[in-house]
Amino acid sequence: MKVCLLGASGSIGNQTIDVINKNPKDFSLVAFSVGKRTRCISYILRKHPEVKHICISNKSKAKEYSKKYPGITFYSGDSGLLKLIRNSAAEMVVNALVGFVGLLPSIEAIKCHKKLALANKESLVVGGDLINSLLKEYKGELYPIDSEHSALWKCLKVDSSDVNKLILTASGGSFRNLSREQLKDVTPEDALKHPTWKMGNKITIDSATMVNKCFEIIEAGYLFNYPYFKVGVTLHDESYLHSYVALKSGGYRGEISKPDMRNPIKFALYQGSIPFKTSFFRSLDDLKDLHFHSFDIDRFPVISFAKVVLDKKGTMGTILNRSNEEAVYAFLGHKIKFLDIEKIISLSLKNMRYIAKPSLDDILKVDQETKDYAHKLINELGGKL
Separation between Cα atoms, residue 204 and residue 200, nearest integer Å = 6
Averaged pLDDT for residues 19-33? 98
Which one, of 257, 274, 305, 299, lies nearest residue 22 by Cα?
Answer: 274
Q: Does one domain contain both 268 and 159?
A: yes
Q: Does one domain contain both 152 and 284?
A: yes
pLDDT-derived band at 196, boundaries 50, 70, 90: low
Q: Which residue has the higher pLDDT, 97 or 175?
A: 97
Q: Does one domain contain both 208 and 344?
A: no
Q: Does one domain contain both 264 and 375?
A: no
Strands (DSSP E) contained in 276-341 are 279-281, 292-293
289-310 confidence digits (pLDDT tens): 999 999 889 889 999 999 999 9
The confidence score (pLDDT) of residue 41 equals: 97
The confidence score (pLDDT) of residue 29 equals: 98
The confidence score (pLDDT) of residue 384 equals: 61
Where residue 333 sits, what CATH number does that domain have? 1.10.1740.10
Average pLDDT, the chain: 94
Q: Does one domain contain both 360 and 374?
A: yes
The confidence score (pLDDT) of residue 100 equals: 95
In a domain, 304, yes or no: no
In a domain, 185, yes or no: yes
The model's pTM is: 0.93
Within 8 A by CB and 6+ apart from 342, the residues are 209, 301, 302
Within 8 A by CB and 6+ apart from 242, the residues are 147, 148, 150, 151, 169, 254, 255, 256, 257, 259, 264
Q: Exposure pattern of 300-312 as b/e (b: 16+ CB <10 Å)? A: bebbebbbbbbee
In a domain, 306, yes or no: no
Distances (CA, A) of 283 to 186, 233, 245: 35, 15, 11
Sign, CA torsion 212/57/104/30: negative
Q: Does one domain contain both 224 and 362?
A: no
Tell which of 102, 126, 144 closes a domain: 144
Q: Does one domain contain both 286 and 155?
A: yes
Q: Does one domain contain both 88 and 191?
A: no
Q: Which residue has the higher pLDDT, 195 or 365?
A: 365
Maximum C-alpha span of the chain: 63
Q: Does one domain contain both 244 and 198?
A: yes
75-86 confidence digits (pLDDT tens): 999 999 999 999
Separation between Cα atoms, residue 305 and residue 143, nearest integer Å = 25
The confidence score (pLDDT) of residue 383 equals: 61
pLDDT-derived band at 230, boundaries 50, 70, 90: very high
Nearest 5 degrees, angle CA 279-CA 284-CA 285? 120
Enclosing domain of residue 24:
2-144
8-state DSSP, 229: G
In a domain, 263, yes or no: yes
Q: Does one domain contain both 33 and 96?
A: yes
The confidence score (pLDDT) of residue 275 equals: 97
Averaged pLDDT for residues 113-138? 97
Tell which of 293, 323, 358 closes a domain: 293
pLDDT-derived band at 385, boundaries 50, 70, 90: low
CB of 295 within 8 A of CB of 232?
yes
- Residue 37, number of CB atoms within 10 A of its CB: 12
Averaged pLDDT for residues 11-32? 97
The confidence score (pLDDT) of residue 194 equals: 59
The confidence score (pLDDT) of residue 172 equals: 82
In a domain, 43, yes or no: yes
pLDDT-derived band at 200, boundaries 50, 70, 90: confident
In a domain, 135, yes or no: yes
In a domain, 179, yes or no: yes
The confidence score (pLDDT) of residue 70 equals: 96
Tell which of 293, 326, 353 closes a domain: 293
On the CB side of 265, how many CA atoms lie within 13 Å of its CA? Answer: 26
In a domain, 351, yes or no: yes
142-189 confidence digits (pLDDT tens): 999 999 999 999 999 999 999 999 999 998 877 888 888 888 889 998
- Number of folded domains that form the chain: 3
Separation between Cα atoms, residue 244 and residue 236, nearest integer Å = 12
Q: Does one domain contain both 249 and 270?
A: yes
Q: Does one domain contain both 11 and 72?
A: yes
44-70 confidence digits (pLDDT tens): 999 999 999 999 999 999 999 999 999
Where residue 114 sits, what CATH number does that domain have? 3.40.50.720
Averaged pLDDT for residues 31-48? 95
